[in-house]
Amino acid sequence: MTQTRFRTWLSEGILEIILILFCVALSFMAPGFLTAENLLNVLRNVSMQGVIAFGMTMVIIAGEIDLSVGSAVAFAGCLTAFLTQALVGAGVGLPLAIALAILMTLGVGFLIGAFTGFMRTRYQVPSFITTLALLTGLSGAAELITNGFPLTPFPSWYNFLGGGYLLAVPFPALIFLLTFGALQFLMNYTAFGRSVYAVGGNAEAARLSGINVKRVKTLVLGTTSFLAAISGIMVSSEIMSGTATTAKGWELDVIAAVIIGGTSLMGGVGRIWGTMIGVVFLGVIMNGMTLLNVSEYWQHVVRGALILVAVLLNLLQKGKEQR
């Protein structure tokens, strides 16, 4: 009895266990790993993508996908810089200009995702297609509003959002943890979260249960590109400019973290906590290998392997449950 319970616990927490073992090994092999400074550094490094990964988890659970988040990050950074510049040019004071620019960028961020949702629910355009178009389109738009050069309207205190510390914790890491808490709560303890699972598990059954499927999909996609905008603002603060070429290829890293965390691309199945593990796992691997002086090329190979192994473990575990 206790043995079977131990086994269930082992197979359900297999990824967590591997992660812990990995960290233990690293702390012996790489002397700099187990220091508060390094761990906080890892946390900050994963924050920018991690914030989006939680939203992406909802999107994928709802049976959709968002390929545009990388470009959305770059676009949001550039838009913030562009609006700040324009507002200052129009005579608005710098602090107020930045505040307004951030709010407008967040609003636009939400609308971009809502647009994907609208195309999906109104015209049945798969989110894969719309966001693929946005991936290119937003990247181009970012180049357009910056004329291809980094915009640098930001004062030095703006660096706090991406590079600052609050109570000794990096500010982006706080946003990351806050987002985790909010979405963890949303997905597990609210009627809305439940609808997301239902819509992704069986959209027709959800609709026939009187759930507004269109609204759920639109809100979920909107939230994710809203989170991409938050990430973009933090990135622009970190590098102190609106640069169109940042965050290239992030969409794949984000989706990888979600999948490693056990979320099914078929929809209906997944956990926010799993994504947390996925995000941290990828961060720790990168950090550990850098500390161990492993070449960057190897890092990519290892990440690729991790994605495959994680999904495989997940499927094997499910197969066992069914028997």
Partner 1 sequence: MDAPVHRLETVSLRKEYPGTLALNDVSLSFESGNVHALIGKNGAGKSTIVKILAGAVQPTRGTMMLDGEQVQLRSPADALQRGIIAVHQELSLVPELSVAENILLGRLPMRQGWGQFIIDWKAVFEEAGEVLRSLDIELDLRARASTLGVAQQQVVEIAKAMSYHPSVLILDEPTSALAQHETERLFDLVRKLAGQGVILLYITHRLQELQRIADTVTVLRNGSLVGTIDIADATPSTIVQMMFGQDLQKARPAELVAREESFLEVRNLSKRCAFQDVSFAVKRGEILGIAGLLGSGRTELLRAIFGADPPDEGELVLEGVSVRPTSPEQMKRLGVALTPENRKEQGLVLLLSTRVNLCLASLDRIATHGFLTRLRERVIVDRNIRELDIAVANVDAPITYLSGGSQQKVVVGKWLNTQPRLMLLDEPTRGIDLQAKQQMFQLIWEMSKRGISSIVVSSELEELLDLCHRILIMRQGQIVGEVRPQELSLDTLFAVCMGEQEAER
- Residue 293 token pair: 């002086």
Is the CB of 44 or the CB of 120 nearer to partner 1?
120
The residues binding partner 1 (CB under 8 A) are 189-195, 197-198, 201-202, 204-212, 268-269
Q: How far is the CB of 318 from partner 1 (least distance, A)?
A: 10
d(CA 221, CA 185): 18
Q: How far is the CB of 63 from partner 1 (least distance, A)?
A: 11
d(CA 173, CA 275): 15
The answer to whether residues 250 and 69 touch, using CB atoms and an 8 Å cutoff, is yes
Q: How far is the CB of 226 from partner 1 (least distance, A)?
A: 19
Q: How far is the CB of 65 from partner 1 (least distance, A)?
A: 18
Residue 160 corresponds to which amino acid? F
Residue 93: what are its φ and ψ, rounded to 5°? Answer: -65, 150
Q: How far is the CB of 4 from partner 1 (least distance, A)?
A: 15
Q: How far is the CB of 36 from partner 1 (least distance, A)?
A: 36
Beta-carbon contacts of residue 85 (< 8 Å; ≥ 6 apart): 151, 153
Q: How much is the CA Rg of the chain, to the nearest whole Å?
A: 20
Is the CB of 149 or the CB of 189 nearer to partner 1?
189
Q: How far is the CB of 267 from partner 1 (least distance, A)?
A: 9
Is the CB of 27 or the CB of 202 nearer to partner 1?
202
The answer to whether residues 236 and 80 touch, using CB atoms and an 8 Å cutoff, is yes
The answer to whether residues 68 and 251 touch, using CB atoms and an 8 Å cutoff, is yes
Is the CB of 172 or the CB of 193 nearer to partner 1?
193
The answer to whether residues 248 and 70 touch, using CB atoms and an 8 Å cutoff, is yes
Is the CB of 128 or the CB of 192 nearer to partner 1?
192
Beta-carbon contacts of residue 124 (< 8 Å; ≥ 6 apart): none
Is the CB of 198 or the CB of 229 nearer to partner 1?
198
Is the CB of 40 or the CB of 186 nearer to partner 1?
186
The answer to whether residues 266 and 65 touch, using CB atoms and an 8 Å cutoff, is no
The answer to whether residues 277 and 16 touch, using CB atoms and an 8 Å cutoff, is yes
